[in-house]
Amino acid sequence: MRMEMKYVIPCVLMLFAGMLLSSCTSSPIRVATVGDGSLESIMVEEFNSLDYQGIYEQIPQPETRYIPDAKVAIKIAEVIFNSVYDESNLAAKKPFQVKFDDDQKVWLVHGTLPEEIDGGVPYIMLQQEDGKILSVWHDK
C-alpha cells in the first residue's frame, strides 16, 4: 500500500499542475459588437484547422446546397453587412434585392435606396454550393 501511494501522489500533482498550466494559457478575449449594438467579450480559442483535415475530407458533403434559396442568401448577407458596415445605416438600405446566376451558381444580394436619397448600397456575392463569400463592396 505504501509503495502505491508513493506513485499516486506524484501522478496527482502532475495532473493538477497540467490542469493549472492549461488554464493559465487561456485564449485571448475578443470584443465583438452584438446585434443590438452593445459590446460583448467573447473567449475565442485558437485551433489548427489541419488537425481536422482528415476528418472533414472523409465526411461526405451534403447533397443540398449551403445557400439553397434567396431567403438564406439574404440572412447571410445581413450578417456580413452588419459586420462590415454601420448597422444603423443599413436599415435605410432595405429591402435587399437578390439575383441568382444559374450558370455560375452565385447569389448577388444588394441593398436598395429610395429614389429621392442619393448614396450607395452594399453588395455581396455568395457561392451557392459552399457558401463562400466571393466579394463584398459598397457602391458610390
Q: Where are the domains of the chain?
A: 2-58, 70-138
Please check the confidence at residue 124 and state whether its pLDDT lies above 80. yes
Query: How does 2-36 read in b/e, with b if 16+ C-beta sit within 10 Å?
Result: eeeeeeeeeeeeeeeeeeeeeeeeeeeeeeeeeee
Residue 33: pLDDT band with limits 50, 70, 90: very low
| Among candidate residues 91, 125, 89, the one with its CA nearest the CA of residue 107 | 125
| Among candidate residues 81, 89, 64, the one with its CA nearest the CA of residue 125 | 81
- Beta carbons of 127 and 72 less than 8 angstroms apart: no
48-79 pLDDT per residue, tens: 878 877 776 777 766 667 899 999 999 999 99
| Among candidate residues 124, 129, 133, 131, the one with its CA nearest the CA of residue 105 | 129
pLDDT more than 70, % of the chain: 66
Grid cell digits, residue 51: 488537425
Q: 0.95 exceeded by the pTM?
A: no
